[in-house]
Amino acid sequence: MKISEIFYSLQGEGQLLGVPSVFLRTAHCNLHCRWCDTPYANWQSHIQDLSIEDIYHQLTHFKVKPIVITGGEPYLQPELPQLCELLHATGHHITLETNATLFMPLKAHLISMSPKLANSVPDSTKAAHHQRQRLNPTVIHQFLTHHQCQVKFVVDHPTDLQEINELVHDIPIPKEQVILMPQGQHPAELAQRQHWLAEICKTEQYRYSPRLHITLWGNQPGT
């Protein structure tokens, strides 16, 4: 399995905010978000090819039950179901973070989807590919049908709300599973957006999530 890093930290987003967890960041992504906060997951110098057994031993070394598998995009890794099976059988709580464009059956306790809005389209040669790939309502529906889910949207501007409301209505996504988070790779960028986003969440009755790891440590590998 191609991985970028394994580390121990606090869950920084969503329903399990603040829970001490071991993170497995897989390498590579099929999208090219303009504001991607983990581009290093694609850097060759950060990528290791490890067996499931090696990954399992590194994850369990911390003796912590909650495991968060994130990326990159974890569903690009064909060995993912095998790793989840092993973690599930040994009593770990598995959160899988995904951009919700790819699906395969596997065991997980929480699927943390983050479908990408139009605000994610990069200003580069990757724009057309990203625009075609960034939303897959069929896959989002599959996750919602087969798993316990949360659906996190990264909000860059108040006008993003229209796209969010349309997706929630059209797919449809249960409103209580939706979480809005401010876009920002640094605490100062989050601070610019958190107050108006909090007001939007109050008005529209969406759950708000900060991005605790960025507030605490900035945008750094291993956090």
Q: How far is the CB of 205 from ligand SF4 (least distance, A)?
A: 26
From candidates 6, 11, 14, 72, binder to ligand SF4 by CB under 6 A: 72
Q: Candidates 24, 29, 84, 144: give the one binding ligand SF4 (CB under 6 A).
A: 29
Binding to ligand SF4 (CB under 6 A) within 95-134 occurs at 99
Name the residue nearer to ligand SF4 (CB basis): 33 or 67. Answer: 33
Does 67 contact ligand SF4 by CB under 6 A?
no
* SS3 track for the chain: CEEEEEEEEECCCCCCCCCEEEEEEECCCCCCCCCCCCHHHHCHHHCEECCHHHHHHHHHCCCCCEEEEECCCHHHCCCHHHHHHHHHHCCCEEEEEECCCCCCCCCCCEEEECCCCHHHCCCCCCHHHHHHHCCCHHHHHHHHHHCCEEEEEEECCCCHHHHHHHHHHHCCCCHHHEEEEECCCCHHHHHHHHHHHHHHHHHHCCEECCCHHHHHHCCCCCC
Please report whether residue 36 would count as binding ligand SF4 according to CB under 6 A.
Answer: yes
Total binding residues toward ligand SF4, as defined by CB under 6 A: 10
Question: How far apart (Å, rounded) are the C-alpha atoms in residues 185 and 218?
Answer: 7
Nearer residue to ligand SF4 within complex by CB, 73 or 160:
73
Nearer to ligand SF4, 67 or 113 (CB): 113
The span of 68-76, 105-113, 175-183, 203-211 binding ligand SF4 (CB under 6 A) equals: 68-76
- Asked if 155 and 211 count as a contact pair (C-beta separation under 8 A), the reply is no
Q: How far is the CB of 41 from ligand SF4 (least distance, A)?
A: 6
By CB under 6 A, name the one of 25, 32, 92, 211 that touches ligand SF4.
32
194 binds ligand SF4 (CB under 6 A): no
Q: Tell me which stretch binds ligand SF4 (CB under 6 A): 26-34, 52-60, 169-177, 198-206.
A: 26-34
The residues binding ligand SF4 (CB under 6 A) are 29, 31-33, 36, 38, 71-73, 99
